Amino acid sequence: MVTPSPSGDREKVVSKLPSWLRQDLKVRAAELGIDIQDAVAAGINAWRALESDYSPIDTAGATSFSTWLPTGQWEDLKATSTERGIPFVQGLAQSAELWLKQHPSPRHRPVTGITSRKIVINQKGGVGKTAVAAGIAEAFAEDGFRVLLVDYDPQGHLSDQLGIEQIAPGADSLVLHMCGEGRGQLGDLIIAVEEPRFEKRLSVLPACPDGFLLDAKIAVSRMRNKEAALDRALAPLEKDFDVVVVDCPPSLGMATDAAIYYGRRRPGEATGVSGMVIPVLAEDSSATAYSMLADQIESLRDDMGIDIEYLGLVVNLYDSRRGYVATSSLKEWRSLGDPRVLAVIGDLKEQREAVRLRRPLLAYSPHSDQAEIMRQIAREIS
C-alpha cells in the first residue's frame, strides 16, 4: 500500500520484512545516526544498480513493515523485482540487507591500533571449539570486521570444514614460524574464504599436521620467552586484521600456553575485548576439564604477571531432554557468574549440514537459530 505525504516528496509504503532484518535495520540506522527511511531508500537504489542477481533471502514469516520513500521509488523497486522474477517483498528484503552490508556497524572498531584476539579454547575434545571459532569469526566478518581465523589444531577440522586444504607436512607453516624456522612470509599462507556474504573480509590460516610436534619443537628450541611463540609469529599479520580468532587444539601443553599468552590483554587495550572463549558441555566431565584449564590459565597469569581475561563460556550441544544431568549442569555453569555464560547452543542440524557441504554456517544458513546465536556471541565479546 502506498500513501502520498502532504508535501508530495515522499510516500508511505506498507510492505513486509522478516523480523530479524527489520531489527537489524533499526539498530544499524541508530548506530550510524541515519533515519531508517533514508537507509531503506539508499538500499533500494544500490540494489537496483546491481549488475547481477542478489542471493535470495528467506522471507518466511515476514511481518508488516512501513516506511517513507521518495515518490516513485516503490514503483521502481516493483518494476525491477518483476524484471528479476522475484516478489516485491524479496526485492525489499534484498535492498535492506545490501544496505546493511554496505554500512557495517561502527561498534568497537579498534581505535587503539590493537587487534582484538579471541582464543577459543578447551583441552577437552568434542565440545565444539571449531564450530564456535568459525561461527564468531563469520559473524565478525559479516559485520564489517577484517577477520583472521587461525586453525591452530593440527587435526585441521576447521580447514577441512571450510573446504580449505591443509598445509602439507614439512612445508612452510605457522608451526615453523612459531619455532623461528619460517621460510617465507606467513601472510602468503593465508586463504580468503570465497563467500559473497563476507566480501573477502574472512581469511583462514590453515592447519598443518606438523602441529602435532609443536610442543616438543618449542620445548627444545633456544627461543627466549617460549610462551610468546604464537604472539611473535602472528604479530606481523595483525596490521591487516581487526580481529584474530584462534581455534585451539585439545591440549594442555606448551602450544596452549602460547595461545593463552597471545590472548592476554595488552597495554592500552580495553577490557572484555581480547581473551578466552571456552566452549563447554552440560555434563560433569566438561566441568572437570574446565577446572584443569582454569588452573593452567591462572598459573600462567601468576607466573608471567599478565592480564588474561575470560570472555565467557559457551554451553554447546545442549539438550534438556537428556534430563537432570544436562539441566543441573547448565544451572551450575550459569551460577559461576565469572566467567559468564555467553550463550547456550542446542544440538542443531544446520552446523552439521554446513560441515557436510564444506561451507561456513552463516553463508549456508544465515538466518538459522545457530547463526543468530553466533552473532549474539560476537556482539557480547566485541
Does residue 300 belong to any structural domain of this protein? yes
**With b meaning 16 or more CB within 10 Å and e meaning fewer, what string describes 250-278?**
bbeebbbbbbbbbbbbbeebeebbbbbbb
Q: Of the given ranges (40-44, 52-56, 108-112, 349-353), which has the lowest mean pLDDT? A: 108-112
Q: How far is CA 99 from CA 29, 84, 94, 305, 375, in A?
A: 10, 19, 9, 45, 18
- pLDDT greater than 70 at residue 262: yes
Pairing outcome for strands 63-70 and 10-17:
antiparallel
Q: Does residue 195 belong to any structural domain of this protein?
A: yes
Q: How many other C-beta atoms can be found within 10 angstroms of the C-beta atom of residue 122? A: 28
Q: Is residue 109 very low, low, confident or very high in pLDDT (cuts 50, 70, 90)?
A: low
Q: Please report which residue ranges of the chain form alpha helices under DSSP H.
A: 19-32, 36-48, 73-84, 88-102, 129-142, 157-161, 174-178, 214-220, 229-234, 254-262, 284-304, 324-335, 349-357, 361-364, 369-380
Is residue 39 within 8 Å of residue 29, measured between CB atoms? yes
* Same domain flag for 198 and 258: yes
Distant-in-sequence, close-in-space partners of 338: CB < 8 Å, separation ≥ 6? 310
If you average pLDDT over every residue of the chain, what do you get? Answer: 90
- Half-sphere exposure of 87 toward its Cβ, with a 13 Å CA cutoff? 12
**CATH number, residue 29:** 1.10.1220
- Sequence-separated (6 or more) residues with CB below 8 Å from residue 146: 201, 203, 240, 241, 242, 243
User: What confidence tens digit (pLDDT) does each residue in 123-144 have?
Assistant: 888 899 999 999 999 999 988 8
Instruction: Please tell me the predicted confidence (pLDDT) of residue 119.
Output: 98
DSSP-derived secondary structure for 40-107: HHHHHHHHHT-SSPPPP---TT-EEEEEEEETTHHHHHHHHHHHHT--HHHHHHHHHHHHHHHS---T
Range of the domain at 129: 116-380
pLDDT of residue 120: 98
Residues 49 and 74 in one domain: yes
Average the pLDDT over each of 97-111, 206-220, 298-312 and give the range with the smallest value: 97-111
What is the rounded CA–CA span in Å between residue 89 and residue 93? 6
CA atoms of 235 and 1, how far apart (whole Å): 55
Looking at the structure, tell me whether residues 125 and 45 fall in a common domain.
no
Bridge pairing between strands 310-318 and 275-280:
parallel
pLDDT at position 51: 82
User: For residue range 306-319, what is the model confidence (pLDDT) as tens digits?
Assistant: 999 999 999 998 87
Q: Is a pLDDT exceeding 90 seen at residue 255?
A: yes
Residue 150: which H helix or E strand, with range?
strand 147-151
Position 110 in a domain: no
Which pLDDT belongs to residue 165?
A: 95
Q: Which 8-state DSSP code applies to residue 228?
A: G
Residue 315 lies in a domain: yes
**Residue 110 C-beta-side C-alpha neighbours within 13 Å:** 23
284 or 264: which leads in pLDDT: 264
Exposure b/e, 123-154, CB count within 10 A at least 16 = b:
bbeebbbbbbbbbbbbbbbbbbbbbbbbbbbb
Question: Residue 225's closest CA among 116, 304, 153?
Answer: 304
Same structural domain for residues 91 and 129?
A: no
CATH number at residue 247: 3.40.50.300
Domain count, the chain: 2
Same domain, 249 and 346: yes
| Same structural domain, 273 and 375 | yes
* Distances 167 to 155, 205, 295, 297, 344 between C-alpha atoms, Å: 11, 9, 33, 29, 33
Residue 230 has pLDDT above 90, yes or no: yes
| 103 — pLDDT class (breaks 50, 70, 90) | confident
How many whole angstroms separate alpha carbon 53 and alpha carbon 17?
19
DSSP state, residue 198: G
Percent of the chain with pLDDT over 70: 96
Radius of gyration of the chain (CA): 23
For Cα atoms 57, 61, 69, give the angle at the middle one, nearest 5 degrees. Answer: 65
108 in any annotated domain? no
How far apart, in whole angstroms, are the C-alpha atoms of residue 236 and residue 222?
Answer: 21
Last residue of a domain, one of 70, 102, 134: 102
